Structures are given as structure tokens and as C-alpha cells.
Structure 1
Amino acid sequence: MKIEHIAIWVQDIDKVCEFYRKYFGGVVHPIYHNPAKQFTSRFVTFESGARLEIMHRPDIDANVGTVTSLTFHVEHSEHLGFAHLSFSVGSKEEVDRLTRQMTDDGIQVIGEPRTTGDGYYESVVLDPEGNRVEITV
């Protein structure tokens, strides 16, 4: 058994897909649009076979996470549910290089490269819509 894909709601599909293409080598697939449901998505596939589904629907509010009549507050702090995506880039040097490149490109780095208490060498960045992404060996 394997996880088939992970899906993320976003406001700007193209911007988010470009982030995962540019920094993690994802292949961006054609856009899918269902006008009846006002739903649009694109898959991004990675070398390992892992896939992200980047999705948009206009009734999902980026500021407060509103879906129809359900409202919950979204912040960049910790919360219950998915916490982050993690990409293994193969070496400490590549973690450092990619983190520097992202810094130079204006990507928000919220955790500089370091060895964590449980032995991971990683940095943490935010994708264009504030989702946490760990870059690790």
C-alpha cells in the first residue's frame, strides 16, 4: 500500500505548481476544470512517484479558511492536522544550497539549516501560500 497523493487547497494554482516544479523538480500536469463545481486542479508528480494535487475553488477563503458555512482560523503557527511536506534532497550540502537559493529568490525561510534533536538535518520554508515545507537529507 502507498499514499497515492496529497491535496492542497490554494488561491493561485500556477504559482504554487511553479514553486514545486522549480525547487523540487516536480512535473506539472495539465489543468483540470469542472465548471459545475467551480473546481480546478493540477497534479504535480515527483521523481519518486509521489504526487501533490494543487486545488482551487472560489468559495474557499484564503484568509480564514472558510468553506461554505464552516469557518476555522488559519495561521502559520502549529495546528491539528497536516503539519508539513518534507522533501529529501540527498545531502546536507543540497539542503544548504537549496535553502540559500530560496532565500535569494525571496522565499520565506522559517527554519535555517540545522540538525534537529531527533537527528534530521533540515531547513523549513513556506510555499507561496504559507504551507510548511521541510528540506532534509
Structure 2
Amino acid sequence: MHIDHIALWVRDLDQVRAFYETYFGATANEKYSNVSKGFSSYFLTFPDGGSRLEIMQMPGIPDTKNEALSQFMGLIHIAISVGSKDAVDALTQRLRTDGYTIVGEPRHTGDGYYESVILDPEENRIEITA
């Protein structure tokens, strides 16, 4: 078994798609739209071909009541491996330069990871790991 995909509701479908394409090398499928429901989505596939990310948009979906900079129960982050410590450092700096929020600076964790934590354009936590 494996996780096929994780889904996120987003406000700006094309901005979020472009973010994951630009910074993580994701490739989007053709946009799916259900006009009667006002629903649209993309599946984003990453270069390793593993789990995918589905980003979805539909009117009437309420904002989360969780604070982006705080921890909370439930899904808290998505971890994306970029392959090396140098790649973590470089991507974190690129995101900082481009104005994204760095929640956790690059560091070695107690469980053996090297990672940083950033917020995507809609304040979802992303761990960038080696």
C-alpha cells in the first residue's frame, strides 16, 4: 500500500499550482472542472512519481480556523524531499528571497532529518527535507 494523494482546498488554484510547479518541479494534469458545482482541481505529480497532491477550489468552502503559525490537531504539514542538505538550504533561501514565510530554519532534527519548514501561498506548512 501507499498514499496515492493528499488533497488541499485552496482559494487561488492557479497560484498554488504555479508555486508547486516552480519550487518543487510538480507537473499538473489538465484542469478538471465541474461547472454545475463550481468545482475545479488539478492533480500535481512530483518528479519522483510517488504520491500526488490534489489542489481543489469551490465556492462556499470556509477558511480553516487554525492559525498557520501554530500547531493543531489533524494534518499539519506535507514533507517534500529535495534530495540533499544543500538543496534544502538553497530552496529555503530561494523561497525567503521570493517573499515566502520561513517557519523553521534549516536544521538537523532529533529523528535524523535535515529540514526547513515554509508556508505555501495559502499558508499550508511544507517541510523541505533532504
Bin the TM-score by the shorter chain.
over 0.9
Q: Which residue of 2 aligns with 1:74?
A: 66
Bigger Rg over Cα: 1
Residue in structure 2 matched with residue 58 of structure 1 by the alignment: 59
Aligned residue for 1:112? Answer: 105
Measured after TM superposition, the shift of residue 121 of structure 1 is 0.7
1:86 equivalent to 2:82? Answer no
Distance 1:52 1:86 in 2: 11
RMSD of Structure 2 on Structure 1 (CA): 1.0
Q: What is the CA-CA distance between 1:3 and the residue it aligns to?
A: 1.2
Aligned length: 128
Q: Percent identity?
A: 53
Moved over 4 A (4+): none
Instruction: List alignment gaps of at least 5 residues for structure 2.
Output: none
Residues in 2 aligned to 1:13 and 1:55: alpha-carbon distance in whole angstroms? 7
Residue in structure 2 matched with residue 68 of structure 1 by the alignment: none
Partner of 1:69: none
- Higher RCO structure (Cα 8 Å, ≥6 apart): 2
Return 5+ residue gaps in structure 1 as ranges: 66-72
In structure 2, what is the Cα distance between the partners aligned to 1:94 and 1:47?
15
TM-score normalised per structure 1: 0.89
Give the Cα–Cα distance (whole angstroms) in 1 for the partners of residues 100 and 53 of structure 2: 20
TM-score if structure 2 supplies the norm length? 0.94
- Cα shift at 1:4: 1.2
Structure 1 counterpart of 2:5, one-letter code: H
Residue 35 of structure 1, CA deviation: 1.5
